[in-house]
Structure 1
Amino acid sequence: MRDITYQKIVVERFGDSNVLQVVKATLPEPPPGHARVRVVAAGVGFTDLMARSGDYLLQRKTPFTPGYEIAGEVVDFTVDSRTPSWLRAGIRVAAALTKMAAYSEFITLPLWQLVPLPDGLNPQLASAVPLDYLTALSLLDTHGRLGTGGTVLIQGASGGVGRAVATLGRLRGLRMYGTASSSGSREALASHGVTFIDYRREDFEMVLREREPDGVQAVFDHIGGKNLRKGFRILAPGGVLVSYAFSGRPGRMVSDTVRGAAQVKLMNLHPRRRTALSMVPHEIKGDPDGYRAALTSVLDMAQCGLIAPQIGATYPLVKAGDAHAALERREITGKVVLTMG
């Protein structure tokens, strides 16, 4: 094996999209139980933007390379006692990372993080699956524990995770309500069986009290603040509010996130309802077998068309800063994917 020279994006200091710099690096041979992967496509999430600006609790130090999800091709690997039988050089794989590093032409990953791509699945589409759909499964299964026919509220239902929850929820026969702001969201959400609530003009608590007087089984929230209390109040007995992110004030996102997480923990003391925090990178690390099974499942669903992540734009790796800027200006609807030369 020989060293590989490649390009990656590095954040040397926190700041705006201009701090995303292209640097050259060298990748040595992989240690035992690891593979070197040529990245074909990397998904871009809003957590990447938060990390770049210094507002992401799980990425508080520089320098770092953003990104949690990749699809690529195995270059080589070093075997150990747990090397999977399907692994070979040249096979296409996907992965959700436990630590940011995806904006890169090549990456070294532990073998347990790799999942083979189904035959015929486009790597760009595959790179749009891991984070949103693993989060959706965390909300629905790990924390929501929802059965067929349950009723849920999805905050920010037009976002990536919201669309993933809606897609999987429809397949499971859930009755779903979703908050969004765009008038165009009504039709898009209706296509997934989600009843649209315009949070700019309607109070979701009042709407749900009228339409679901017995309460809902689950509320999935990524906003925090007063929405947590309102969402908790509309839960049916035994229901759960699951928080998977927090909106906060610019420059105070970390402290607002910590405050929101503490609020969720305290609300869990209520005897008739419960709350939970979904942190997918930690859940992946804590249950590798469950992670591989879940990612394999959603990739298979993408291959056969049961789920169809919406790719809003693709950018070459060296234009990662432009991708971040466009997302911050809210110019793109759907997932942004970085492609490698």
Structure 2
Amino acid sequence: MSEPIKHRRIVVERFGDADVLRLADAVTAAPRPGQTRVKVLAAAVGYTDVMARKGEYVFQRRRPFTPGYDLVGEVVDHQVDQAPAWLVPGVRVAACLPRMGGYTEYANLPVQALTPVPDGLDTSVAAAVPLDYLTALSLLDRHGRARPGEAVLIQGATGGVGDALCQLGRHRRLVMYGTASERSLHLLSDYDVVPIDYRRQDVAEVVRAKHPEGVVAVFDHLGGPAMRAGHRLLAPGGVLVSYAFIGRPGHVLTDTVLGVLRNRVLNLRPGRRTAICTLPREITADLPRHQRLLGDLFALALKDGIRPRVGGVFPLAEAAAAHRALERREVHGKIILQPA
């Protein structure tokens, strides 16, 4: 029988600033039936992790916990009957976890959550894909249902999910409008996105100049007034999809609840609809489906159909510095943690 493995992981024992991220000793036991033990090679850092660390994330309210939804690792061993042919020690695998726990050196994961990483795809690039690109796929396919040639509005188009939406939208030949700050607008030039400086331009005026009937989908991570304004930009039969609610500092949980309520109230208006994308719940409901979708995304990345951005790489022990860099917006692209 496999022996337990001593290692380290990042732990949040109290909510607070980046300094609460602590490197702690841990032990990963031998895998239970259906599990695979993975040596983590790279873990992605997302703004959801920052919210969880501060105690502002609805789906992570208990402590202690280890942040991180997506990782790439190397199979150590497993206890899986009728294992797929690719599940052998040493093979690289990726996962978007149903629950947080990615900032670690080793983990036991259900085999249905693992997708093999193809040869030729860089480990850090692969780690930048799962959460953001699976969220973007859900927004486009499950909720938005936009077809080639149709117009969509992407709020926060230079963020992690926004960037994924732009790349997948270009691949699907959508007409895209994207909002961003002035200093980030240049990042949209590669994606055939109509850039909108949300501070200096009237978003509705820019969109309706070319699409007076409105857009078929608005993808919103802001909530509040932006949600109502986006809903007014929808063409008949269009949909506004919320995938996050950026609240006021110190009031994020309250603003998240209010954002959900606003989304539901707007859905009562006839002629247009609203939806909320909560990827962790969608993954929990159907692990094998998301395993397959992640494999499709990796294949697309190998063909340059998408080009995930890696903005910076930090050692696992410097998770606090990685969080500060993300909060200060010092990098463009996904921040990756690498265990020693």
1-structure distance, mates of 2:281, 2:291: 14
Equivalent residue letter for 1:62: R
2-structure distance, mates of 1:164, 1:75: 31
Map 1:77-156 → 2, pairs under 5 A: 77-80=78-81, 83-156=83-156
> Over residues 149-195 of structure 1, what are the superposed CA-to-partner deviations in whole Å (9 max), with x where a residue is unaligned?
11000000011111110101011110000000034x33321210001
- Look up the match of 1:288: 287
Map 1:53-68 → 2, pairs under 5 A: 53-68=54-69
- Look up the match of 2:218: 219
TM-score after normalising by structure 1? 0.97
Secondary structure in 2 matching 1:262: helix
1-structure distance, mates of 2:80, 2:219: 41
- How far has the Cα of 1:208 moved from its partner? 1.8
- Look up the match of 2:36: 35
Number of equivalenced pairs: 339
Unaligned runs of 5+ in 1: none
TM-score after normalising by structure 2? 0.98
1-structure distance, mates of 2:323, 2:172: 34
Contact 2:301 2:307 in 1 (8 A): yes
- How far has the Cα of 1:28 moved from its partner? 0.8
Secondary structure in 2 matching 1:84: coil
Map 1:298-313 → 2, pairs under 5 A: 298-313=297-312
- Look up the match of 2:235: 236
Is 1:165 equivalent to 2:191 in the alignment?
no
Equivalent residue letter for 1:23: A
Equivalent residue letter for 1:137: L
2-structure distance, mates of 1:210, 1:114: 45
1-structure distance, mates of 2:262, 2:226: 12
- How far has the Cα of 1:233 moved from its partner? 0.4
> Which region of structure 1 is more displaced relative to structure 2, 91-100 or 208-217?
208-217
Equivalent residue letter for 1:241: L
Equivalent residue letter for 1:202: Q
2-structure distance, mates of 1:123, 1:39: 11
2-structure distance, mates of 1:112, 1:70: 15
- How far has the Cα of 1:26 moved from its partner? 0.8
- How far has the Cα of 1:60 moved from its partner? 0.6
Equivalent residue letter for 1:194: V
2-structure distance, mates of 1:243, 1:304: 30
Is 1:47 equivalent to 2:48 in the alignment?
yes
2-structure distance, mates of 1:187, 1:256: 30
Secondary structure in 1 matching 2:166: helix
- Look up the match of 2:206: 207
Contact 2:113 2:291 in 1 (8 A): yes
Which runs of at least 4 in structure 1 moved beyond 4 Å after TM superposition?
none
Is 1:74 equivalent to 2:75 in the alignment?
yes
1-structure distance, mates of 2:145, 2:305: 21
- Look up the match of 1:178: 178
> Which region of structure 1 is more displaced relative to structure 2, 120-129 or 311-320?
120-129
> Over residues 187-246 of structure 1, what are the superposed CA-to-partner deviations in whole Å (9 max), with x where a residue is unaligned?
321210001000010121222223310110000000110001100001000100000000
1-structure distance, mates of 2:332, 2:182: 11
> Over residues 60-110 of structure 1, what are the superposed CA-to-partner deviations in whole Å (9 max), with x where a residue is unaligned?
1110000000001010011236x3232111111000001000000001101
Secondary structure in 2 matching 1:232: helix
2-structure distance, mates of 1:322, 1:188: 24
Equivalent residue letter for 1:159: G
Secondary structure in 2 matching 1:191: helix
2-structure distance, mates of 1:79, 1:198: 51
Equivalent residue letter for 2:122: N
2-structure distance, mates of 1:78, 1:151: 47
RMSD over aligned CA atoms reads 1.0
2-structure distance, mates of 1:188, 1:316: 27
2-structure distance, mates of 1:186, 1:222: 18
2-structure distance, mates of 1:307, 1:208: 25
- Look up the match of 2:314: 315
- How far has the Cα of 1:18 moved from its partner? 0.1
Equivalent residue letter for 1:197: I
2-structure distance, mates of 1:313, 1:190: 21
Equivalent residue letter for 1:198: D
